[in-house]
Structure 1
Amino acid sequence: MSDGNLRLFSISMDGCLCLWLFVQGELYPTELTTLPFQGDNRLQENNLGAMALTASCSCMAIHPNHTMVLVGTDQGQLWPVSNEGEVLNWGPVNAHQCPIYTVQWNPFHHQVFITCGTDWLVKIWDQREKEALVVISLGSFLEHCAFSPFSSTAFACMSSNGKVLIYDLNICLHKPLCSQRITPQRRAQPTILSFAPFHPVILVGDDKGHVTCLKLSPNLRKVSRVPESSRIIEVEMEKLERVITLMKR
């Protein structure tokens, strides 16, 4: 940060978003906000209505510009919260019908993010729109999803049955370019995946502590050709913006 001190955010199941300041080897927490519960109206009709119910935070993503935090909850909502703890005017967003397992910003286009949850759906959102741009159903619980660091329109998602699928919106909207099932070890359950930032591989972790490394084929790691007068981020952002424009028609 600008003052030279390290900062980190944390969420918890009691709906609390905290900012931690690391100073001289010590962590000092500041509670930014507690997200309220917004769900079943029947709770307001019984004794639970008198209680201060809070949301149960399940995942979060810090904006690439470090200006806000996007928090997902077990109630299927997304809460955009500023660094000062204020909920931004475009939230909350009713993103899923069930708990949200993952939310991640696009590394090239900083107004686009991806979510997945237990309602079998992976969704791609534009911060400027109220509805999702892309909705894909995989027919099973989704454990994790992630944007590719090589292309703004490519992403991977992983289902609860251990299948990793890779999509590219610039090539095909509802059909994966690749589908690979992870061979479980000792009945392990895959829980998370991650693209390597500099190498063409995907790492998949499971609940038994194993990590599986998948190598991307050349057609899954293509990098856009960049004119001499442009930068890769600008080219990738324009490519995704063209796809967004077509989806809005």
Structure 2
Amino acid sequence: DLLAVGYGAFDFKEQKEGLACCWSLKNPMWPERIFHCEHGVTALDFSMATPNLLAVGMYNGTIVVYDVQSSASTTVFHSRECSAKHTGPVWQLKWVEWDIGTTEGNKRERLISISADGRIAQWLIQEELGCTDLMKIKRARNKKKNLPDEKERKNEALISQWAAGMCFDFHPKDTYLYLAGTEEGLIHKCSRSCNKQFLKTYRGHKGPVYKVAWNPFATDTFLSCSADWSVILWHQNSQTPILTFSSTTTVVHDVMWSPKSAFIFAAASESRVEIWDLRISILDPVITRFANPEAKFTSVLFAKNTDCLLVGDSRGEVSVFELQNLAAASSTEVDALSDAIGPALFPVAK
């Protein structure tokens, strides 16, 4: 199994060339593949249908696709020829498999990206990269009691009508539905069949939303994390948070559900990485690992085929932690999760 790691600065003033490297856990000393990128790498993802294809998003809005089977570092596809390419950093991209017809098994993979330019784009890979917009994220209107004066109207006219997109996640069962997190702190539920308006908006964060993640087992619930130091558990039918986890006083960059349990998730803040098990506690993480003083954690990933947690940091290092005693998912877990969070979701009146 290969691990793809992107390297780049997220600060506009510190921009320089980036790298995308493919690592094997069997050889932690030197990557199997090194791809030199024109700008800092902000997102990457392997194709599921064609595992040798690696999509890479960059700070300047460029998207490229590499063939990791090839020893040459030339690109297979490049977005430079696309007139509708992104004009801001690509904060997340992902290969998504969805139904394209009525027959069972009639599915096709699409590359989806979200950018600071306010667009969620679907990329069509044929002879070259082309894209269409799934959604343009409209900026939320400020509710004002008084009409704005002329100066305020001019200032508002200079601000883009589109909100910067930070992250997205497609529903694990209904791939027409997806969530989009924004720099405004809002989470929008959207549909592929409606690109003009949101189905629902969740308001709970007071800073940019850096990650949204559907629970792969209890598929009505999802997590979000933010610059406001918090992780929030949501139910898709309620616009009020179920639970808010505030165990840190630093930015929470990433969150991910365990692929083996509806209860367990990992969260990476700048100062620590945490493992939460909602069966044991909704107040404190069961495991906490602190970052080195000179580094900040930036990303977290559960390995699919082993009980390992991978954590990236600001120094460009990836740490691998072995996890023990993680329970395998079962059909009763979803009901048990509902029992665990039921009082928070449906409080009893007294």
Same fold, TM-score > 0.5, yes or no: yes
Measured in 2, the distance between the counterparts of 1:41 and 1:4 equals: 43
Query: Which residue matches 1:7?
Result: 110
Measured in 2, the distance between the counterparts of 1:196 and 1:87 equals: 36
1:127-152 deviation per Cα after TM superposition (whole angstroms, max 9, x unaligned): 01111111011222212111111210
Query: Which residue matches 2:40?
Result: none
How far 1:244 sits from its partner (Å)? 2.9
Larger RCO: Structure 1 or Structure 2 (Cα < 8 Å, ≥ 6 residues apart)?
1
Residue 135 of structure 2 is aligned to residue 33 of structure 1: yes
Change (3 A) 1:181 1:50: closer
Q: Determine which of 265, 274, 277 is the counterpart of 1:165.
A: 274
SS at match of 2:155: helix
Matched AA of 2:164? S
1:160-206 deviation per Cα after TM superposition (whole angstroms, max 9, x unaligned): 12x1111111111101111112447xx44321001112211100112
Contact kept in structure 1, 2:177 and 2:191, CA below 8 Å: yes
Measured in 1, the distance between the counterparts of 2:220 and 2:197 equals: 17
How far 1:126 sits from its partner (Å)? 0.3
The aligned runs of 1:75-154 (5 Å cut-off) are 75-84=184-193, 85-89=195-199, 91-137=200-246, 138-154=248-264
Matched AA of 1:223? A
How far 1:217 sits from its partner (Å)? 2.6
**Aligned residues: CA RMSD:** 2.2
TM-score for both structures, normalised by structure 1: 0.85
How far 1:88 sits from its partner (Å)? 4.0
TM-score for both structures, normalised by structure 2: 0.62
Measured in 2, the distance between the counterparts of 1:100 and 1:76 equals: 5
How far 1:47 sits from its partner (Å)? 0.7
Matched AA of 1:209? G
SS at match of 1:92: strand
Measured in 2, the distance between the counterparts of 1:74 and 1:39 equals: 14
Contact kept in structure 2, 1:5 and 1:22, CA below 8 Å: no
The aligned runs of 1:175-194 (5 Å cut-off) are 175-183=284-292, 187-194=294-301
Residue 312 of structure 2 is aligned to residue 205 of structure 1: yes
How far 1:12 sits from its partner (Å)? 1.1
Question: What percent of counterpart residues are identical?
Answer: 29
Contact kept in structure 2, 1:118 and 1:142, CA below 8 Å: yes
Contact kept in structure 2, 1:5 and 1:21, CA below 8 Å: no
Q: Determine which of 10, 14, 22 is the counterpart of 2:125.
A: 22
Measured in 2, the distance between the counterparts of 1:22 and 1:193 equals: 29
Measured in 2, the distance between the counterparts of 1:4 and 1:178 equals: 39
Query: Which residue matches 2:165?
Result: 57
Query: Which residue matches 1:227?
Result: none
**Unaligned 5+ runs, structure 2:** 1-97, 101-105
Measured in 1, the distance between the counterparts of 2:269 and 2:252 equals: 4
Query: Which residue matches 2:340?
Result: 243
Contact kept in structure 1, 2:278 and 2:340, CA below 8 Å: yes
Measured in 1, the distance between the counterparts of 2:208 and 2:168 equals: 13
**Unaligned 5+ runs, structure 1:** 225-231
How far 1:5 sits from its partner (Å)? 4.3
Matched AA of 1:74? E
Query: Which residue matches 2:24?
Result: none
The aligned runs of 1:64-79 (5 Å cut-off) are 64-65=172-173, 66-79=175-188
1:48-99 deviation per Cα after TM superposition (whole angstroms, max 9, x unaligned): 333552101111111112122211011000111211325343x222231111
How far 1:46 sits from its partner (Å)? 3.0
Measured in 1, the distance between the counterparts of 2:283 and 2:227 equals: 19
Change (3 A) 1:117 1:125: same
Measured in 2, the distance between the counterparts of 1:72 and 1:20 equals: 20
Measured in 2, the distance between the counterparts of 1:200 and 1:167 equals: 15
1:15-39 deviation per Cα after TM superposition (whole angstroms, max 9, x unaligned): 111112223x433211122111115
Contact kept in structure 1, 2:252 and 2:267, CA below 8 Å: yes
Matched AA of 1:222? A
Matched AA of 2:309? I
Residue 153 of structure 2 is aligned to residue 46 of structure 1: yes
Measured in 2, the distance between the counterparts of 1:62 and 1:86 equals: 18
Structure number with bigger Rg:
2
Q: Choose 39-48 or 28-37, whichever is displaced more.
A: 39-48
Contact kept in structure 1, 2:114 and 2:165, CA below 8 Å: yes
